[in-house]
Each structure stands twice: as structure tokens, then as C-alpha cells.
Amino acid sequence: MTFSLTELKRAAAKAPVVPVLVIGSVEQAAPLAKALQDGGLTIAEVTLRTPAGIEAIAAMKAAVPELLVGAGTVLTGEDVRNSVEAGADFLVSPGMSPGLLNALGKYKPLMIPGVATASEAMCRHEEGFEMLKLFPASVAGGIPALKALAGPLPHLQFMPTGGIGAGEANDYLALPNVLAVGGSWIATRADVDSGDWAGISRKAREALSAISS
């Protein structure tokens, strides 16, 4: 995989909001990818919580190749292999395990592992990860935790996710160690299941205009 953190940073600089998606059917993937792109987004994360997740990643990339599509809820070595084979641009996990670390060493994808403490962040940095997901952000200390972590660990960057809504995204993004924020609010499972593509595009645009204002 040639995709790099530099490219992810470039995409995040344009649109630093990453919708975390739960896709029930692969047929939803192409219209959803187009709706996100129409809304101005450049990055999306498809969770592997549904059987359709892996196929949906490939279908979104086929529909909108310039949209960066990551695999989320990556828990096992098999998830790593399936995500890489489906063409995921990056992988995201809620945490780390020895088996997951081993598979990441084999496939070497761009990985954003979840952390909730300074010790976890230090371990992931020692293992070579520079970009981390603060998870679950709202209960792992949120904005005060990220501010505090920036003191001793200024070399680390975060994509806080978990419990962040439209109202908080902007405050997270004002922090120098936050590259992007993730969340389900832009395209909830209900939005996707009802095919509310226009509503998803609108929420994406609203999120981006709130950030730039």
C-alpha cells in the first residue's frame, strides 16, 4: 500500500471531519460516497461492524476514487488482511492487541490505533504510530485531555472519535494536536438506511462551514 500519512493530512486539511459509517448493504455504498463528496468531505471511515463493511469499502472507492476510505473497527489480523485487500486507504481501531500489532507488521497499512491514556499513546508511538485516535473521546477526557497530552507528547497527532457531535467538532479542531475529528452524526445508520443522501450532504456541508467560520 502506497498511501501515506502525508496524503491523509492533505485530505484532512481540506475537510477535517471523518464520518464513521455503519453500512448495512453494499448497494448503499456508491450513493453514500457521492453524497459525502457532494457535501465537501474528503475522508470516510467504514466500520467493519456489518458483514457488508468490507465490500462497501471497495464499492465506495470504485464510485468515488478520490474519496479516502478507511476501515474502522479493525480488531483482528483477518480484519487487517480483508481491509487491505478491499483497498482501504487507512485502518482505524478502538485499541491495540498483540495479534493486531502482528498483522499490522505484516501488511503495513496506514493505521490509526485507538488510545485512551498517555501510556497507551507512548506505547503506540514506540511501535511507530504517529497518528492516534483518542477513543472514546468524550469519556477519555475530551478536549482537556488532548490539551494536557500536547504538553509531554507534542509529537503525536490525534483524531478524537466517540461521543463527538456537530456542536463540539469545531472546539476539538481548534487544538494544535487534532488533525481531524470522527463521528457518526453526519451519516447515521438511520440516514444511510433511509437513503437520505441529500440530508447527509447537507450535514457534511454544515459541519465544514461551522469549522471554517
Ligand X SMILES: O=C(O)C(=O)C[C@H](O)[C@H](O)COP(=O)(O)O
Interface of this chain with ligand X, residues 50 to 69, rule: CB under 6 A: none
Residues 129-148: x where in contact with ligand X by CB under 6 A, - otherwise, as a string: ------x-------------
Please pick, from the candidates 16, 39, 53, 94, the single residue that binds ligand X as defined by CB under 6 A: 94
Q: Are 18 and 44 in contact (CB under 8 A)?
A: yes
Phi, psi of 179 (to 5 degrees): -85, -35
Residues 4-23: x where in contact with ligand X by CB under 6 A, - otherwise, as a string: ----------------x---
Of 23 and 92, which CB lies nearer to ligand X in the complex structure?
Answer: 92
CB 68, min distance to ligand X, A = 15
Look at residue 126 and give its three-state secondary structure. helix
Which candidate, 172, 176, 187, places its Cα nearest to that of 67? 187
Residue 72 binding ligand X, by CB under 6 A? yes
CB 73, min distance to ligand X, A = 4
- Is residue 14 flagged as an active site residue? no
- Is residue 133 flagged as an active site residue? yes
Task: Indicate which residue of 120, 133, 168, 203 is catalytic.
Answer: 133
Alpha helical stretches, state H, 39-188 = 53-63, 77-86, 98-107, 118-126, 142-150, 166-173
Q: Which residues contact 22 (CB under 8 A, 6 or more apart)?
A: 47, 49, 50, 184, 189, 192
Q: Are 160 and 146 in contact (CB under 8 A)?
A: yes
Q: Are 67 and 88 in contact (CB under 8 A)?
A: no
Task: Indicate which residue of 45, 120, 168, 203 is catalytic.
Answer: 45
Phi, psi of 32 (to 5 degrees): -70, -45
Of 142 and 162, which CB lies nearer to ligand X in the complex structure?
Answer: 162
Residue 162 binding ligand X, by CB under 6 A? yes
Residues with catalytic function: 45, 133
Interface residues with ligand X (CB under 6 A) are: 20, 47, 72-73, 92, 94, 135, 161-164, 182-184
